[in-house]
Amino acid sequence: MESFAFAPAYELPVWPFTTPPELGRTETVRHPIVIVGAGPSGLTLACDLAQRGIRAVLLDEDDTVGVRGASSRGICYAQKSLEIFERLGIYERIAAKGITWSFGRTFSGEQEVYSFNLQAESVSRQPPFINLQQFYVEWFLVERILELGLTDLRWKSRVTGIEPLSDGVRIGIETPAGRYTIEADRLIDATGANSPIRTQLGIEAHASRSTDRWCISDVRFKKPLPVERWTWVDAPFNEGRGVWQHLMADGVWRIDYQMPEDCDTARISQPEVAGARLREQLGPGVEFEFVWIGPYGYRDHLLDSFRHGRVFFIGDAAHVVSPFGARGGNSGIQDAANLGWKLALVAQGQADDALLDSYDAERQPAAKQNLEVTSRSARFLAPRSPAEHTLRRAVVALAARHPFARALVNTGRMSVANDYPPTPQLPDGGRTVQNLPLRWADGRETTLMRLLAEGTQCLGLWLAPTRAEAKTAMDATASLPLRLLAIGGDSGLPALQADETLMRHLGLHDAGSFVLVRPDAYRAATLAHATPDAIAAALRTALALDHHAP
């Protein structure tokens, strides 16, 4: 039997535990914001807050990034996440280290039955996707957080229990130097799928587990393959079951094999067994070495509400979906970006607690949608009855000949920035605005993310207002977090050049039309004929400020 080699393990960074000032003190110290869990969502939130000049305490039970073996877990970072990382200052590192892609192909047997090119829909500076091992993203975030210097990052600090108070949360923490207690005005649970905080509070997560089994092989080999997402509904080299093939950093391919439902997970992940599968796929004579092998079965859960009093749930603590379409990690990163600016405005006294309710109103439906979308993919990939097998055979057979059926082939619908339903803060719903390349009137280049990276304010983009309107609007919104910019015209406001892509993406047509963009790059309002009063009202609505206040 052929034997297979493993690459040397990654050397991950380790950060030191330092004894916190509260340890050994009798009085309990209160912090405005405490985040628990330094995974992608917790780190993104801490970094987002720090970028806005807001301090937070971040607790993590470990002192490094990634988990045992380092290489498994999330690999695909979607455009919205990449735009957030651009705003936080780590995009360039991610782009340099990761693999940029936009093209996906799906095969049945030897035949291609479906393909997509996500670049076609994009007007962003960031590509549709970059693949990168999750621990690199976490690593870059930690380094950026340390560079910003506002986050109290406490490693080797395990939360042993929390106690909700009327005006905050009491948190018990265990460290190598002993136990201590702190309080928080607000606590953000980013502890992941097995959240002990959620369990302790007895919050129903509506969890379910799939019987579908998969085995990941992360592997390096020397065989030139296109940098595309390839999936097989039924691969001839995997006994007619599904396969995923995707490149990430350091020349490591993630190949994910669907296994029989009743398989022995220990056996199928043995190097000889995994190696034989890979040999079947790559053919003879291709050298390869394993980086990681791991079996998994996916699960899902979704909280009914992402806010419980002073406790907020983000990322996997709030929702878990099957991996098809990369909607897990990306959704957690977007949770963090949704909550970050709201916490910042509340911390700065520019918005009330009511604004924080909109986090749940927007992100819970987004997670619900992701759960529906990924569950449909999972069901296509693992039919549950003879009738489902029959229907899938029909789809695949027709897809080979007729374009209409290709749309039914579902090996995962890639992560998007979910639209938000209409809510009190978003009367017309919310829609992402991509990171448009922009140009100031004098020709200097900028981007939407660069404009949003400065402070915490909404952007008002106003097509050619008059000087009088601009002046009145500036006065009407002087006390509010708004940066008012003109597109074209001669209004005296700082002005961007009018550009067809920009206007089309924002849905601006006539002079005087206006778009309000939130700090998380979601469109909060569109005004066909903006007046200064209407702009101020739209802003107050978006920020959940009292309309009747003077």
Partner 1 sequence: MITDPRIPDPDGFYAALLAAHEDLSETHSADLNARLVLLLANQCGDQAVLLACIRAAAEDPTTTATP
Binding-site ranges for partner 1 (CB under 8 A): 387, 390-391, 393-395, 397-398, 402, 404-405, 408
Shortest Å distance, C-beta 391 to partner 1: 5
Q: Which C-beta is closer to partner 1: that of 401 or that of 444?
A: 401
Distances (CA, A) of 418 to 93, 335, 367: 26, 11, 9
Shortest Å distance, C-beta 229 to partner 1: 25
- The phi and psi torsions of 497 (rounded to 5 degrees) equal -70, 140
Q: Strand 208-209 to strand 213-221: parallel, antiparallel, or no bridges (unpaired)?
A: unpaired
Shortest Å distance, C-beta 393 to partner 1: 6
Shortest Å distance, C-beta 404 to partner 1: 4
Q: Which C-beta is closer to partner 1: that of 65 or that of 409?
A: 409
Partners of 446 in beta bridges: 438
Structure tokens at 278: 């890979």
Distances (CA, A) of 58 to 45, 145, 156, 541: 10, 10, 11, 31
Q: Which C-beta is closer to partner 1: that of 388 or that of 428?
A: 388
Q: Which C-beta is closer to partner 1: that of 19 or that of 390?
A: 390
Shortest Å distance, C-beta 380 to partner 1: 14
Q: Which C-beta is closer to partner 1: that of 167 or that of 404?
A: 404
Q: Where are the alpha helices (H) located in 74-178, listed in sequence order?
A: 79-88, 91-97, 134-148
- The phi and psi torsions of 380 (rounded to 5 degrees) equal -65, -40
What CA–CA distance (Å, rounded) separates 219 from 444? 44
- Helix, strand and coil in the chain, % to nearest 5: 30, 30, 40
Cβ proximity of 528 and 510 under 8 Å: yes
Cα–Cα nearest to 520, from 549, 547, 542:
542
Structure tokens at 164: 């909700």
Structure tokens at 328: 């897990």
Task: Quote the strand ranges of 363-424, DSSP E.
Answer: none
Q: Which C-beta is closer to partner 1: that of 172 or that of 383?
A: 383
Task: Give the count of beta carbons closer than 10 Å to the beta carbon of residue 24.
Answer: 10
Q: Which C-beta is closer to partner 1: that of 84 or that of 395?
A: 395
Cβ proximity of 70 and 293 under 8 Å: no
Q: Which C-beta is closer to partner 1: that of 393 or that of 471?
A: 393
Read off the DSSP letter of residue 28: P
Shortest Å distance, C-beta 233 to partner 1: 15
Distances (CA, A) of 275 to 212, 264, 461: 21, 16, 56
Shortest Å distance, C-beta 414 to partner 1: 22
Q: Which C-beta is closer to partner 1: that of 96 or that of 387?
A: 387
Shortest Å distance, C-beta 398 to partner 1: 6
Strand, helix or coil at 522? strand
Shortest Å distance, C-beta 269 to partner 1: 34
Amino acid at 365: P
What CA–CA distance (Å, rounded) separates 414 from 102? 10
Q: Where are the alpha helices (H) located in 382-512, listed in sequence order?
A: 386-399, 403-406, 448-452, 467-476, 500-506
Q: Which C-beta is closer to partner 1: that of 397 or that of 468?
A: 397
Shortest Å distance, C-beta 394 to partner 1: 4
Burial per residue of 421-447, b for 16 or more beta-carbon CB atoms within 10 angstroms, e otherwise: eebebbeeebebbbbbbbeeeeeeeeb
Shortest Å distance, C-beta 220 to partner 1: 41
Q: Which C-beta is closer to partner 1: that of 97 or that of 393?
A: 393
